[in-house]
Structure 1
Amino acid sequence: MSREAKILTAILVLVVGAMVGLFVLTGSGSDKPASTEKADSSKLIRDNSHKQGSGSVTVVEFGDFQCPSCGQAQPVVERIKQEYGDKITFVFRNFPLPMHQNAIAAAKAAEAAGAQNKYWEMNSKLYANQQEWSELSNPSESFIKYANEVGVADIERFKKEIGDNTHTAFIEADKSDGEALGVQGTPTFYINGQQSDSFTYQNLKQLIDQQLGQK
């Protein structure tokens, strides 16, 4: 093999490796087969985790508010919640990725709104406006605007909590649980403890229907 061919081969290997690494970190919407292993229930949900509904099938999402794949998954999540209603319990866990500069700040904004009973409203608002705030050097003003729009009552308290460490331990506990479960990218879903990295409607629906059929 000539020297030039060796150089080209080395470059190709590096490019392919980088693409694979990016794919793993950012998540995938493909119909990747779900793992058949059940996750540790003590790491999936904590007593103070954010929950919607009280159905027999639990859908847990480990997500990052700045993650583009999570933003793409959000309409699917909303459709699933609307269609299944009280048949499922939906749980959101924070898993901010280090590559996203505003992910932790956004998680703090969601938690600060949640402290005033507006968590799910802020959760939806952050995803709906992801492109607006995700690349800002300081997204605080955007978060304050969203807090006003969703009806957070004490804006001064909200401002304080997005600027300090009031909710840091909660966010870190979420991520620690995800890491213990083997979460590597976002969004990652668990349907009654069965992991799925796919967020297509068809895949999530199939997994939920399978669990409902076992009840």
Structure 2
Amino acid sequence: MNNENLTKYELHQEKKREQSAEGRRTRTWKKMRHLAIWLIVLVILGGIVWLVNSSFAKRSVDGQLPLSSKAKDILKPKADDWIIGDVATAKLILTEYSDFECPACATYHPLTKKLLAEFPDQIAFVYRHYPF
């Protein structure tokens, strides 16, 4: 249309239509931006869930993570460890790395003694001195 032949009212209406069209475009872009942000967040969360599930899938049938041979050798009780209980028949081997001067270690010592008293045939206790 030719703007010279329009009345003030028609000019005002045309200006309103242009502004509403621009507002719709702005709202559309805002919606698209929000949608893109949510999609990125969902992809990141999906990746995290996939990583966690894949790490649990590596577990063996009995639910334990497979250990390397070095790790198995480190965890086995040695002849120079201080051992309470029978390592061969115990259902659980509790290996404690502790220090005689550590206040936190001293705090947990009564709990360890209580466990050994309650389950003498089921727990073997292996102490390894590890100064902090």
TM-score of the aligned structures, taking structure 2 as reference length: 0.43
Larger Rg: 2
Between the two structures, name the one with larger relative contact order (CA 8 Å, sep ≥ 6): 1
